Structure 1
Amino acid sequence: MPQEIERKFLVTDESYRRMAHKKSRIEQGYICSARGKTVRIRIRDDKGYITIKGPSNASGTSRYEWEQEIPLNDAEELMALCEPGRIEKVRYLVDFSGHTFEVDEFHGENEGLTVAEVELGSEAEAVELPAFIGEEVTGQTKYYNSFLMKQPYTMWE
């Protein structure tokens, strides 16, 4: 069973932009966003994807994840079936000390939020953090994209 093991952090400055080797535009919606199981449709630049995620473990670092590329026109049609709310973001890829950090700069209703994730081979794997990394928010559901779709960052108190 495919597992996603990752840690998530808030970002403290924009130095990741200079460090990035790639960036892409992402729009995504959710066909199902129930706690513990999500079905996501994503358009990343000119490609479409469907992703199914299961519940996170107790620490929030690991969960089942299955993703498949689908034709762009299928992804565009499936977006019409999604629940209300969309996630719009630009993702920057930053290689640092043997790991790739995915830095998501949110737009739309989540404007002002920037989060970095790093995927790991195991929960015990050590990772050196770049200077732009701030507070760790791994396992805090309010930072999950499926939550941000329902409770956007701009509406937080």
Structure 2
Amino acid sequence: MQEIERKFLLKNNSFKEEAYASYSIQQAYLNSHKERTTRIRITGEEAFITVKGKSSKSGLSRFEWEKNIPVAEAEELLQLCEPGKIEKTRYLIKVGKHTFEVDEFYKDNEGLTVAEVELSSETEQVKLPDWLGEEVTGDKRYYNSYLVQNPYKSWKE
């Protein structure tokens, strides 16, 4: 139940030409404490409750537990969540033996697009596609739980 991933900003939207699937996501947080978060997520016909722990020092890994729940229950739980909601489209792109998940955000986080790739270990090598930009692994500003409280549109350069 350890999540290990790297996170990147994007140089451009050319990833969309390589996507083999995409779907809408809406999510909110029952708890967004810096030591642990509890998220409710709806992705089309599926819904999940997820608990995530504090990130490792490197920012590459953290505890993650996820359970599928009925969409109707998720919709009710969304009403109990802290203020703010994340809305985004997720694109799936196969690169070598890895699948990159690229999230294009909307509403208060419009203009932000982030790619993630899950790994089996912190030292696993991964082929990086040309459309990736700066690596932001471990930068808490790019965690969805941070974006709910500090939307991208409010960031100052």
Fold shared per TM-score above 0.5: yes
Q: TM-score, normalization: structure 2?
A: 0.98
Q: In the alignment, what sits opposite 2:62?
A: 63
2-side partners of 1:14 and 1:122: how far apart? 28
Confirm or deny that 1:128 pairs with 2:127.
yes
1-side partners of 2:4 and 2:35: how far apart? 15
Post-superposition offset of 1:36: 1.8
- Number of residue pairs the alignment of both structures matches: 156
2-side partners of 1:104 and 1:128: how far apart? 19
1-side partners of 2:45 and 2:112: how far apart? 24
3-state secondary structure, aligned to 1:56: coil
Confirm or deny that 1:108 pairs with 2:107.
yes
Q: In the alignment, what sits opposite 2:85?
A: 86
Q: In the alignment, what sits opposite 2:45?
A: 46
Post-superposition offset of 1:55: 0.5
Q: In the alignment, what sits opposite 1:144?
A: 143
Amino acid corresponding to residue 146 of structure 1 in structure 2 = S
Q: In the alignment, what sits opposite 2:22?
A: 23
Which structure 1 residue ranges, 5 or more long, are not aligned? none
Post-superposition offset of 1:85: 0.3
Amino acid corresponding to residue 109 of structure 2 in structure 1 = N
Partner deviation per Cα, 1:47-90 (whole Å, 9 max, x = no partner): 11000000100011000000011000000000001000000000
Confirm or deny that 1:97 pairs with 2:102.
no
Q: In the alignment, what sits opposite 2:118?
A: 119
Q: TM-score, normalization: structure 1?
A: 0.98
Confirm or deny that 1:3 pairs with 2:20.
no
Post-superposition offset of 1:18: 0.7
2-side partners of 1:46 and 1:110: how far apart? 24
Q: Which runs of 4+ in 1 moved over 3 A?
A: none
